[in-house]
Amino acid sequence: MRPYRPLLVVTPTLGTSPWLDRTVASVVSYAGEHALHILVAPAPTHDDLRRRFPQCEVVADTARTGVYAAINLGIAAAFSRPWDYFTWINDDDAFAPGFKSHLETALGHAGKNEVWFYGGIRLLGPGDENLGRLPISRFSSDIVPLAQLGINPLNQQGLLIPHAGLARIGSIREDMRICADVDLWLRGLKDGASFRFTGKTVAEFRLRRGQISGDVGRHRQEFFVAAASIFPGRPSAPQAALARARFRLGNAFVYVERLRRCGWRGGFDLLENPAPGP
Protein backbone atom coordinates (compact mmCIF):
# COMPACT_ATOMS: atom_id res chain seq x y z
CA MET A 1 0.00 0.00 0.00
CA ARG A 2 1.25 3.46 -0.88
CA PRO A 3 1.89 5.71 2.14
CA TYR A 4 -0.49 8.61 2.73
CA ARG A 5 1.08 11.92 1.72
CA PRO A 6 -0.97 15.02 2.62
CA LEU A 7 0.77 17.27 0.07
CA LEU A 8 0.87 16.72 -3.69
CA VAL A 9 3.71 18.62 -5.39
CA VAL A 10 4.01 18.62 -9.18
CA THR A 11 7.09 19.78 -11.09
CA PRO A 12 6.95 20.01 -14.89
CA THR A 13 10.42 19.56 -16.37
CA LEU A 14 12.35 18.65 -19.49
CA GLY A 15 14.92 17.07 -17.18
CA THR A 16 17.64 19.47 -18.27
CA SER A 17 17.27 22.39 -15.85
CA PRO A 18 20.51 23.10 -13.97
CA TRP A 19 18.39 23.98 -10.93
CA LEU A 20 16.24 20.81 -10.79
CA ASP A 21 18.39 19.22 -8.08
CA ARG A 22 17.84 22.30 -5.93
CA THR A 23 14.10 22.20 -6.60
CA VAL A 24 13.78 18.57 -5.53
CA ALA A 25 16.07 19.08 -2.52
CA SER A 26 13.88 21.96 -1.32
CA VAL A 27 10.80 19.70 -1.37
CA VAL A 28 12.68 17.09 0.66
CA SER A 29 14.00 19.69 3.11
CA TYR A 30 10.84 21.68 3.74
CA ALA A 31 7.99 19.22 3.03
CA GLY A 32 9.76 15.95 3.82
CA GLU A 33 7.62 12.87 4.24
CA HIS A 34 4.48 14.99 3.89
CA ALA A 35 5.03 15.32 0.14
CA LEU A 36 4.23 13.14 -2.83
CA HIS A 37 6.47 14.78 -5.44
CA ILE A 38 5.66 14.05 -9.08
CA LEU A 39 7.96 15.03 -11.94
CA VAL A 40 6.22 15.32 -15.30
CA ALA A 41 8.78 14.90 -18.08
CA PRO A 42 9.32 13.56 -21.61
CA ALA A 43 9.66 9.76 -21.68
CA PRO A 44 13.33 9.67 -22.79
CA THR A 45 14.37 11.36 -19.53
CA HIS A 46 12.56 8.97 -17.17
CA ASP A 47 15.35 6.50 -16.43
CA ASP A 48 17.74 9.32 -15.60
CA LEU A 49 15.20 11.14 -13.42
CA ARG A 50 14.30 7.97 -11.49
CA ARG A 51 17.99 7.32 -10.88
CA ARG A 52 18.65 10.89 -9.70
CA PHE A 53 15.47 11.31 -7.67
CA PRO A 54 14.28 7.92 -6.33
CA GLN A 55 12.00 9.69 -3.85
CA CYS A 56 9.92 11.17 -6.71
CA GLU A 57 7.38 9.61 -9.01
CA VAL A 58 7.88 10.28 -12.70
CA VAL A 59 4.94 10.72 -15.09
CA ALA A 60 5.15 10.90 -18.87
CA ASP A 61 4.44 14.26 -20.46
CA THR A 62 2.35 12.83 -23.26
CA ALA A 63 0.79 16.20 -24.14
CA ARG A 64 4.03 18.15 -24.75
CA THR A 65 1.91 21.28 -25.22
CA GLY A 66 3.19 23.42 -22.38
CA VAL A 67 3.83 23.77 -18.68
CA TYR A 68 0.18 23.88 -17.60
CA ALA A 69 -0.76 20.78 -19.60
CA ALA A 70 2.13 18.95 -17.92
CA ILE A 71 0.95 20.05 -14.47
CA ASN A 72 -2.56 18.80 -15.24
CA LEU A 73 -1.08 15.41 -16.16
CA GLY A 74 0.68 15.29 -12.79
CA ILE A 75 -2.53 16.14 -10.95
CA ALA A 76 -4.48 13.53 -12.90
CA ALA A 77 -1.92 10.84 -12.09
CA ALA A 78 -2.49 11.32 -8.36
CA PHE A 79 -6.01 12.71 -8.22
CA SER A 80 -7.71 9.58 -6.88
CA ARG A 81 -5.14 9.17 -4.12
CA PRO A 82 -5.60 10.72 -0.66
CA TRP A 83 -3.95 14.11 -0.20
CA ASP A 84 -5.11 17.33 1.41
CA TYR A 85 -3.30 20.09 -0.51
CA PHE A 86 -1.77 20.59 -3.93
CA THR A 87 0.92 22.95 -5.16
CA TRP A 88 3.42 23.03 -7.99
CA ILE A 89 6.98 24.24 -8.19
CA ASN A 90 8.81 24.81 -11.46
CA ASP A 91 12.21 23.26 -12.12
CA ASP A 92 14.09 26.54 -11.71
CA ASP A 93 12.31 27.59 -8.50
CA ALA A 94 12.47 26.18 -4.97
CA PHE A 95 10.67 26.16 -1.66
CA ALA A 96 12.18 28.40 1.03
CA PRO A 97 12.71 27.50 4.72
CA GLY A 98 9.45 29.26 5.66
CA PHE A 99 7.50 26.71 3.61
CA LYS A 100 7.87 24.18 6.42
CA SER A 101 5.85 26.17 8.98
CA HIS A 102 3.55 27.40 6.19
CA LEU A 103 2.69 23.76 5.40
CA GLU A 104 2.31 22.90 9.09
CA THR A 105 -0.24 25.71 9.43
CA ALA A 106 -2.21 24.33 6.50
CA LEU A 107 -2.08 20.73 7.69
CA GLY A 108 -3.33 21.83 11.09
CA HIS A 109 -6.35 23.24 9.29
CA ALA A 110 -7.00 20.23 7.03
CA GLY A 111 -10.49 18.80 7.30
CA LYS A 112 -12.00 22.10 8.46
CA ASN A 113 -13.41 24.79 6.19
CA GLU A 114 -11.51 25.10 2.91
CA VAL A 115 -8.69 27.65 2.98
CA TRP A 116 -6.06 28.37 0.33
CA PHE A 117 -2.81 29.32 2.07
CA TYR A 118 -0.29 31.65 0.44
CA GLY A 119 2.96 33.28 1.50
CA GLY A 120 5.77 35.58 0.46
CA ILE A 121 8.20 35.01 -2.41
CA ARG A 122 11.88 35.90 -2.68
CA LEU A 123 13.33 36.73 -6.09
CA LEU A 124 16.60 35.20 -7.25
CA GLY A 125 18.69 36.24 -10.21
CA PRO A 126 20.21 33.79 -12.69
CA GLY A 127 23.28 33.36 -10.49
CA ASP A 128 21.37 33.14 -7.17
CA GLU A 129 21.55 36.92 -6.63
CA ASN A 130 19.09 38.06 -3.97
CA LEU A 131 16.78 40.51 -5.77
CA GLY A 132 14.45 41.12 -2.85
CA ARG A 133 10.86 40.00 -2.43
CA LEU A 134 7.66 40.26 -4.43
CA PRO A 135 4.96 42.61 -3.12
CA ILE A 136 1.99 40.71 -1.74
CA SER A 137 -1.45 41.46 -0.36
CA ARG A 138 -1.69 40.80 3.35
CA PHE A 139 -5.47 41.22 3.30
CA SER A 140 -7.44 38.55 1.45
CA SER A 141 -10.34 40.97 1.01
CA ASP A 142 -8.07 43.08 -1.22
CA ILE A 143 -7.20 40.28 -3.65
CA VAL A 144 -10.09 40.79 -6.06
CA PRO A 145 -10.00 44.62 -6.09
CA LEU A 146 -6.25 44.56 -6.71
CA ALA A 147 -6.61 42.05 -9.55
CA GLN A 148 -9.34 44.21 -11.11
CA LEU A 149 -6.88 47.13 -10.95
CA GLY A 150 -4.21 45.11 -12.75
CA ILE A 151 -2.09 44.62 -9.62
CA ASN A 152 -0.90 41.08 -8.90
CA PRO A 153 -1.82 40.48 -5.22
CA LEU A 154 -0.21 37.06 -4.70
CA ASN A 155 1.90 34.45 -6.44
CA GLN A 156 1.60 30.77 -7.24
CA GLN A 157 4.82 29.51 -5.65
CA GLY A 158 3.95 27.80 -2.38
CA LEU A 159 0.19 28.36 -2.78
CA LEU A 160 -1.56 25.44 -1.04
CA ILE A 161 -4.82 24.46 -2.74
CA PRO A 162 -7.28 22.11 -0.98
CA HIS A 163 -8.05 18.85 -2.78
CA ALA A 164 -11.82 19.36 -2.63
CA GLY A 165 -11.60 22.90 -3.95
CA LEU A 166 -9.45 21.84 -6.88
CA ALA A 167 -11.90 19.04 -7.66
CA ARG A 168 -14.74 21.56 -7.94
CA ILE A 169 -13.08 24.26 -10.01
CA GLY A 170 -11.40 21.85 -12.42
CA SER A 171 -8.06 21.70 -14.17
CA ILE A 172 -5.63 24.49 -14.94
CA ARG A 173 -6.28 26.33 -18.20
CA GLU A 174 -3.99 25.11 -20.95
CA ASP A 175 -4.68 27.88 -23.46
CA MET A 176 -2.67 30.36 -21.36
CA ARG A 177 1.13 30.38 -21.31
CA ILE A 178 1.78 32.64 -18.31
CA CYS A 179 -1.23 33.50 -16.14
CA ALA A 180 -3.19 30.26 -15.82
CA ASP A 181 -2.19 30.35 -12.14
CA VAL A 182 -3.98 33.71 -11.78
CA ASP A 183 -7.04 32.25 -13.49
CA LEU A 184 -6.94 29.27 -11.09
CA TRP A 185 -6.85 31.22 -7.84
CA LEU A 186 -9.44 33.70 -9.08
CA ARG A 187 -11.73 30.76 -9.88
CA GLY A 188 -11.09 29.52 -6.36
CA LEU A 189 -12.23 32.87 -4.95
CA LYS A 190 -15.26 32.82 -7.23
CA ASP A 191 -16.05 29.35 -5.88
CA GLY A 192 -16.16 30.83 -2.38
CA ALA A 193 -12.78 29.74 -1.04
CA SER A 194 -11.15 31.62 1.80
CA PHE A 195 -7.54 32.74 1.36
CA ARG A 196 -5.07 33.17 4.20
CA PHE A 197 -1.63 34.81 4.20
CA THR A 198 0.65 32.93 6.61
CA GLY A 199 3.30 35.65 6.71
CA LYS A 200 6.10 33.23 5.80
CA THR A 201 8.54 33.50 2.90
CA VAL A 202 7.62 30.21 1.28
CA ALA A 203 9.46 30.04 -2.05
CA GLU A 204 12.18 31.40 -4.30
CA PHE A 205 11.23 32.53 -7.80
CA ARG A 206 14.17 32.59 -10.17
CA LEU A 207 14.32 35.32 -12.80
CA ARG A 208 16.32 34.49 -15.91
CA ARG A 209 16.48 35.56 -19.50
CA GLY A 210 14.23 33.63 -21.87
CA GLN A 211 11.67 32.48 -19.31
CA ILE A 212 8.06 32.48 -20.45
CA SER A 213 6.90 35.06 -17.87
CA GLY A 214 9.45 37.52 -19.30
CA ASP A 215 7.10 38.12 -22.25
CA VAL A 216 5.72 41.20 -20.54
CA GLY A 217 3.16 42.09 -23.21
CA ARG A 218 1.56 38.66 -23.10
CA HIS A 219 1.89 38.59 -19.31
CA ARG A 220 -0.14 41.79 -18.94
CA GLN A 221 -2.71 40.65 -21.50
CA GLU A 222 -3.30 37.26 -19.88
CA PHE A 223 -3.57 38.80 -16.42
CA PHE A 224 -6.22 41.22 -17.70
CA VAL A 225 -8.15 38.39 -19.43
CA ALA A 226 -8.12 36.23 -16.29
CA ALA A 227 -9.34 39.03 -14.01
CA ALA A 228 -11.93 40.43 -16.43
CA SER A 229 -13.43 37.04 -17.28
CA ILE A 230 -13.91 35.95 -13.67
CA PHE A 231 -14.46 39.25 -11.83
CA PRO A 232 -15.53 41.73 -14.52
CA GLY A 233 -15.77 45.41 -13.77
CA ARG A 234 -13.83 47.64 -11.44
CA PRO A 235 -13.87 48.06 -7.67
CA SER A 236 -15.66 51.05 -6.24
CA ALA A 237 -13.54 54.13 -5.62
CA PRO A 238 -13.36 53.52 -1.83
CA GLN A 239 -12.49 49.84 -2.37
CA ALA A 240 -9.78 50.74 -4.86
CA ALA A 241 -8.28 53.40 -2.62
CA LEU A 242 -8.25 51.13 0.43
CA ALA A 243 -6.76 48.16 -1.45
CA ARG A 244 -4.05 50.30 -3.05
CA ALA A 245 -3.18 52.00 0.24
CA ARG A 246 -2.91 48.78 2.21
CA PHE A 247 -0.89 47.12 -0.55
CA ARG A 248 1.59 50.00 -0.76
CA LEU A 249 1.95 50.45 2.98
CA GLY A 250 2.16 46.71 3.62
CA ASN A 251 4.97 46.40 1.10
CA ALA A 252 6.93 49.53 2.02
CA PHE A 253 9.95 47.52 3.18
CA VAL A 254 9.71 45.34 0.06
CA TYR A 255 10.01 48.44 -2.13
CA VAL A 256 12.92 49.79 -0.07
CA GLU A 257 14.78 46.49 -0.39
CA ARG A 258 14.06 46.37 -4.14
CA LEU A 259 15.44 49.90 -4.52
CA ARG A 260 18.56 49.02 -2.55
CA ARG A 261 19.26 45.82 -4.47
CA CYS A 262 18.01 46.62 -7.97
CA GLY A 263 17.60 50.38 -8.30
CA TRP A 264 14.46 52.00 -9.72
CA ARG A 265 13.09 48.89 -11.35
CA GLY A 266 9.57 47.46 -11.22
CA GLY A 267 8.52 43.82 -11.35
CA PHE A 268 8.02 43.76 -15.10
CA ASP A 269 11.39 45.46 -15.60
CA LEU A 270 13.01 42.61 -13.67
CA LEU A 271 11.14 39.98 -15.66
CA GLU A 272 12.41 41.50 -18.89
CA ASN A 273 15.96 41.95 -17.62
CA PRO A 274 16.79 40.04 -14.42
CA ALA A 275 20.28 41.51 -13.99
CA PRO A 276 20.56 42.58 -10.34
CA GLY A 277 22.16 46.01 -10.65
CA PRO A 278 20.45 49.41 -11.22
As a whole number of angstroms, the distance between CA 79 and CA 86 comes to 10
233-246 pLDDT tens trace: 999 999 999 999 99
Q: Is pLDDT at 26 greater than 90 in this prediction?
A: yes
Beta bridge partners, 7, equal 35, 85
Asked whether the beta carbons of 64 and 42 are under 8 A apart, the reply is yes
Q: Report the pLDDT value the prediction gives residue 265, as an integer from 0 to 100.
A: 79
At 28, the pLDDT band (50, 70, 90 cuts) reads very high
- Sheet of strand 57-60, all strands in order from the earlier edge strand to the far edge: 57-60, 35-41, 7-12, 85-88, 161-162
Domains of the chain in start order, with CATH, are: 1-93 (3.90.550.10), 96-278 (no CATH)
Could you tell me the CA-to-CA distances from 9 to 5, 146, 160, 254, 264 in Å, in that order? 10, 28, 10, 28, 35
76-130 pLDDT tens trace: 999 999 999 999 999 999 999 999 999 999 999 877 778 999 999 999 988 899 9
pTM above 0.75, yes or no: yes
Buried b (16+ CB within 10 A) or exposed e, 241-266: ebbbebbeebbeebeeebeebbeebe
SS3 (DSSP) at 11: strand
